[in-house]
Amino acid sequence: MTSAEDDPYDVEKCAQWIQENELKQVCLQFPDNLLADSVKVALHLEKNIGQKVYILGDTTCGSCCVDEIAAQHINADGIIHFGHACLNPTIRLPVLHILPKQQFNIKKLDNEFKQTFQDNTSRIIFFYDVEYAHKIEYIYSILKPMYEHLVFSKLNCKSNVEYTDAKATPDRVILGRSYTLEEEYNIQDYEGFFLGEEGKALAILAMSIPVKKWYCFTNNKICEFEALNAPWLKRRRFLVEKLKDAKTVGIVVATLGIKEYLTAITTVKEALKRKNKKTYTLCIGKITPAKLANFPEIDAFVVIACPENEVFDSRDFLRPMLTPYEVELAFNTAREFCPHYFMDFRQILPGGIHHVDFKPSTDSDVSLISSDVRNCEDDGLSADQMNTLTIRSSGTVAIGMAGAQYLQERSWRGVEQRLGEDPVRPAEIGRTGLACQYTNEPLNTAERT
């Protein structure tokens, strides 16, 4: 291992955190690109603290999220997360984030910042990616004396960078970042600045925080960033229309550790139920197109996941992948049109900064996809139990089993018992050997003869 000054994993701070909290069962979580160093870090840490630590070799949902579920397999009482983090709050275990440390040209940033914001009275909120947090205190000392109304955000986590540690619980936390505005001003009076690449974190912040303009520092140059005109966002409006047409919706739980994820599941389920949508709740770990293709009877999926999850950008899935906010866009008439987009589901839950009480529509409308009229009458097809008899508005009695009905109508259904339909036969010896070449295959039979 390198010296303490050059150690990118801050083993000394990890040891100090474990000893201060008197933790006995600690898990180390690494992203895939850092797993090669995991054993070396774990051995060095064990030498410092005199006890065993555990390495999480694979994460349940994503590398940026703290995997409390995997840690509970050994009854862990703490987790140390290495690498890039989405900073979503957890609900079970204390967490220490060892943030990566990316170097950049601070002098170039200083010159570009002064050239872009020539008015020293400008009101600016300074955001940054987690990999630059180790330099923020130094940047603050350079820029703050020149800009009286410059507000620096903080990362709402316990980490190896002291400046990021928000001591008190702030009222506004967006993507793990908190900030405090001056009392006589609101968010619309500020401009936003982001130190980092034009990636997912910047896009989510720009869509969620309604500042006047957004700027980012990338490739040693400051440029203006516009997220609301992106083709990605325009496609989301199309998927909202697909959700309105859907009859069966799958609620995919892609996180088991983010705070209030259970409330999000309940909120989405209740909203869909009030619109007579049949729902299924699925928990499949990491989301892949192949896994969700096993549920062809589902017309659309609503994903409860980390806001930085890449499934919302992908075009590989068979069915539309939507967010809890898009459920409200589709069915909550009390939510007025807003030019911003909220990827973090905690913002729209009860108590969130953008929560709106749900009010379902009672009017008919026309589908923009199929041009059919959508009848919003209370049809009563959604039932709490799968064996509940329900009555359609036409008076027809039906069983509320959308998925089962789909399986009954399929021409191919797989292996069936067929009890009493086939003659009784004695048991026979099946295939033997390796799956790539069984002993009873023609090639092997010819060799033996």
Q: What is the pLDDT of residues 207-240, one digit of tens each?
A: 888 899 999 998 889 999 887 776 777 788 889 9
Numbers of helices and strands, H then E, in the chain = 12, 22
Any domain includes 321:
yes
Q: Which of 230, 202, 238, 203 is nearest to 320 (CA)?
A: 238
Measured CA to CA, the distance from residue 383 to residue 300 in angstroms comes to 19
Q: Residue with structure tokens 């139990």?
A: 385
Sign (positive or negative) of CA dihedral 426, 432, 436, 437: negative
Do residues 151 and 211 both lie within one domain? yes
Q: What is the CATH number of the domain that holds 344?
A: 3.40.50.11860
Tell me, what DSSP letter sits at residue 135?
Answer: G
How large a percentage of the chain has pLDDT more than 90? 36
Do residues 165 and 242 both lie within one domain? no
Question: Where does the pLDDT of residue 388 fall: very low under 50, low under 70, confident under 90, or very high at 90 and above?
Answer: low
**In this structure, are residues 297 and 128 in contact, taking their beta carbons and an 8 Å threshold?**
no
Q: What is the CATH number of the domain that holds 110?
A: 3.40.50.11850
Measured CA to CA, the distance from residue 288 to residue 282 in angstroms comes to 13
Do residues 122 and 191 both lie within one domain? yes
Any domain includes 63:
yes
Identify any residues that bridge with 199 across adjacent strands, giving them in sequence order.
none
Do residues 114 and 69 both lie within one domain? no
Query: Residue 444: what pLDDT?
Result: 59
pTM summary value: 0.78
Own/partner long-range contacts of 178-187 (Cβ < 8 Å, ≥24 apart): 178/153, 178/154, 179/125, 179/151, 179/152, 179/153, 179/154, 180/151, 181/125, 181/151, 182/123, 182/149, 182/151, 185/123, 187/211
Do residues 73 and 128 both lie within one domain? no
Do residues 113 and 215 both lie within one domain? yes
The residue from 35, 66, 98 where one domain ends is 98
| Of the candidate ranges 83-97, 322-336, 421-435, the one whose mean pLDDT is the lowest | 421-435
Measured CA to CA, the distance from residue 13 to residue 164 in angstroms comes to 15
pLDDT at 302 over 90: yes
Q: Cα 139 vs. chain centroid, distance in angstroms?
A: 30
Do residues 243 and 327 both lie within one domain? yes
Do residues 354 and 244 both lie within one domain? yes
Q: What is the pLDDT of residues 189-208, one digit of tens each?
A: 999 999 988 888 898 898 88
Any domain includes 148:
yes
Mean pLDDT of 17-42: 92
**In this structure, are residues 67 and 257 in contact, taking their beta carbons and an 8 Å threshold?**
yes
- Per DSSP, the residues of 68-104 read HHHHGGGT-SEEEEES----PPBSSS-EEEE------
Do residues 87 and 117 both lie within one domain? no
Enter the tokens of residue 10: 């801050």
Any domain includes 93:
yes
Query: Residue 412: what pLDDT?
Result: 66
How large a percentage of the chain has pLDDT more than 70? 86
Q: What is the pLDDT of residues 123-170, one digit of tens each?
A: 999 999 999 999 999 999 999 999 989 999 988 888 888 776 655 555
Q: Which of 398, 362, 361, 367 is nearest to 383 (CA)?
A: 398
Enter the tokens of residue 318: 């068979």
Q: Please state whether beta strands 154-155 and 248-253 pair in parallel, antiparallel, or not at all (unpaired).
A: unpaired
- Phi and psi at 232, nearest 5°, equal -55, -45
- Per DSSP, the residues of 272-300 read HHHTT-EEEEE--SS--HHHHTT-TT-SE
Do residues 205 and 324 both lie within one domain? no
Measured CA to CA, the distance from residue 37 to residue 403 in angstroms comes to 46
Give the count of domains, the chain. Answer: 3
Question: Where does the pLDDT of residue 407 fall: very low under 50, low under 70, confident under 90, or very high at 90 and above?
Answer: low
% helix, strand, coil for the chain, step of 5: 30, 20, 50
Query: Residue 170: what pLDDT?
Result: 54
Q: What is the pLDDT of residues 75-106, one digit of tens each?
A: 999 999 999 988 888 888 999 999 999 988 99
Any domain includes 247:
yes
**For all residues of the chain together, what is the average pLDDT?**
83
The residue from 98, 122, 148 where one domain ends is 98
Domain enclosing residue 309, as ranges:
230-362
Query: Residue 383: what pLDDT?
Result: 45
Do residues 155 and 66 both lie within one domain? no
pLDDT at 276 over 60: yes
pLDDT at 57 over 80: no
The residue from 64, 98, 132 where one domain ends is 98
Identify any residues that bridge with 92 across adjacent strands, giving them in sequence order.
none
